[in-house]
Amino acid sequence: MMRRNLGLPAFSRGVRNAVRGVRGVLGTPIAAAAAAALGVSVTIAALPAQSDRLVYRIEVTGTIELGLAPYVARALDEADGAGAAAVVLDLDTPGGRVDAAWEIIDAVRDAGLPVYAYVNRRALSAGAMIALSAERLYMRPGSTIGAATPVIGEKKASEKMVSAMRSEFRALAEERGFDPRIAEAMVDEEVEIEGVSAAGKLLTLTTEEAIELGVADGEVEDYESLLEGVGLAGAQTFRPVPNWAERIVRFLTNPAVAPLLLSLGFLGLLVEIRTPTFGLAGAVGLLCLAAFFGARLLVNLAGIEELLLLGGGLVLLLVEAFVIPGFGIAGALGIIAVLGSAYMSMLGRFPTTVDLVNTAGIIGLSIVLVAVLAFVLFRHLPHSRSLSGVLLKSETSRDTGYLSAPARAELVGKVGIAATDLRPSGTAIIDNERVDVVTEGPWIEEGSRVVVMRAESYRHVVRQVREDEPQVADEAVEEREPAPPETGA
């Protein structure tokens, strides 16, 4: 599935170029203020002057997830723009999402300056793949690299996924000039290398083993020793940090936050449908859904397909709520479309079975939360004196300043004339009174005879009277609930 790259790096790059131009004309302080106002990166204002003795040290620590990729890509692009001599990826990670690692690798390969990897303790799984993508790889004593087989829970992934990872590692080994079978053995335990890896054992290398096999370029005691090894001893080091936008995106894409955003979004729209005007509930619902889908759009989880599906689902729900009486196909399709867009936006480019199951669990949890909260809102809050303003009642006292249209049960069965075209809502003259009505089916032209079938609060559902049913008024009256029999004293 092809997706446009609409993430943070592209936005940051454009604004950063503008900030550099402002800095050249008005000076660094004003440029820093412009960057802070735009919220692109708190590090832009602190950028050192361009120098061939400047090194960017980018930390890649903890679990590798999709929120990390835009930060690394932005920092690499920033280093290139600042004229840095090199970038060092400071790695200490147990691995994480493969698709996030691939995005980081693509950014490393596209960087316009040397990128060195510094394995500071461990670079396992997806972290090993990132380390091998660097121009040179240095390891701290006692560090490890390897153990890169993709897994689903506690089980090995499908052969298709293992084959893709094996090919990726083989290509990286060929670029670095060491035996590709060593890289394959990190991914697939079935690869046997005499004297290195036995069959059935996944390959993980220590610092000494990695240097001996040509995987690593050398051992360094610390970061300063690495700079000496690459001829940049004494160079100024700049350590970029995630900006506020990247922190927010990583928070919003957290699996623990997603159910809350979805639940509040759906609940807000549900409450809004129950009220006659757009208000706070609808605004909160749309804001939560915008945060959910916007964060995933920025990290390339969501694409134009998910946004179109979401938009179509919302349109169907609005049509069901305000145009078509009752609940039917449009509402069901709208709910399916919105849930489908949410489900698709939580999957990466290469979802595993675990991703599919976990995402289904998050969607299911959101549905349960919405059902419980909706029950509480619609069942208890209308009767709560302190929270009675949350939901609209059928009527309130004069002191509250609002009285909704009462149910007009006496109109059921009455025949009138459509005063306007009913498409599907409009006005009809019933008993010499203008009444707001809505059709139960096809549109009705002005001047047609209509009969009131149901009275639902402020909405009166009508249908057109056919020419061959002159007694429709009497028949409709008979359909109403009969009055209780009179009892004599």
Domain range summary for the chain, segments of one domain joined by + = 8-47, 54-244, 253-383, 405-479
Q: Mean of the pLDDT values across residues 120-133?
A: 94
If one counts every other C-beta atom within 10 angstroms of the C-beta of residue 5, the result is 10
| Arithmetic mean of pLDDT, 177-189 | 92
pLDDT exceeds 70 at position 51? no
**Phi and psi at residue 219, to the nearest 5°:** -105, 135
Nearest to 5 by CA among 250, 301, 242: 301
Band of residue 264 on the pLDDT scale cut at 50, 70, 90: confident
CATH superfamily of 405-479: Nucleic acid-binding proteins (2.40.50.140)
Mean pLDDT of 357-368: 79
Residue 115 has pLDDT above 90, yes or no: yes
Same fold, 54-244 and 405-479: no
Residue 252 is predicted with a pLDDT of 79
| DSSP label of 112 | S
Please state the rounded mean pLDDT for residues 320-325.
66
pLDDT of residue 153: 57
Question: Position 83: which residue type?
Answer: G
When mean pLDDT is compared over 58-72, 308-322, 363-377, 451-465, the highest value belongs to 58-72
What whole-number distance in Å separates Cα of residue 310 and Cα of residue 307? 5
* Range of lowest pLDDT (2-16, 189-203, 262-276, 369-383): 2-16
Average per-residue pLDDT in the chain? Answer: 76
Q: How high is the pLDDT of residue 457?
A: 63
Out of 13-22, 359-368, 444-453, give the one with best mean pLDDT.
444-453
Query: Given pLDDT bands bounded at 50, 70 and 90, which one contains residue 1?
Result: very low
Q: What percent of the chain has pLDDT over 70?
A: 71
Instruction: State the Cα–Cα distance between residues 319 and 321, nearest whole angstrom.
Output: 5
The per-residue pLDDT for range 86-108, each reduced to its tens digit, is 999 999 999 887 888 888 999 99
Query: At 11, is the pLDDT very low, low, confident or very high (cuts 50, 70, 90)?
Result: very low
**Predicted local distance difference test score (pLDDT) of residue 229:** 92
- pLDDT (0 to 100) of residue 375: 77
pLDDT at residue number 170: 94
| Stronger pLDDT, 223 or 13, i.e. the higher one | 223
CA distance 94 to 401: 62
212-225: pLDDT as tens digits: 999 999 999 999 99
Q: Which residue has the tokens 């091998």?
A: 132
Task: Pick the more confident residue, 53 or 88.
Answer: 88
Lowest mean pLDDT among 15-29, 315-329, 444-458: 15-29
List all residues 6 or more positions away from 268 whose beta carbon is below 8 Å from its beta carbon: 281, 282, 283, 284, 285, 286, 288
- Cα dihedral across residues 480, 481, 482, 486: positive or negative: negative
Residues paired with residue 459 on neighbouring β-strands, in sequence order: 456
The residue among 374, 363, 118, 365 whose CA lies nearest residue 221 is 118
CB 44 within 8 A of CB 106: no
283-305 tens-digit pLDDT = 888 888 888 887 777 766 666 77
* Structure confidence by residue, pLDDT tens digits, 306-317: 888 888 888 887
- For the domain spanning 54-244, the CATH number is 3.90.226.10
Q: What angle do CA 267, 273, 275 make, to 5 degrees?
A: 110
Rounded Cα distance, 299 and 290, in Å: 14
Pairing of strands 86-93, 115-124: parallel
Identify the weakest region by mean pLDDT among 24-28, 351-355, 402-406: 24-28
Distance, CA of 329 to CA of 231 (rounded, Å): 69
d(CA 442, CA 440): 7
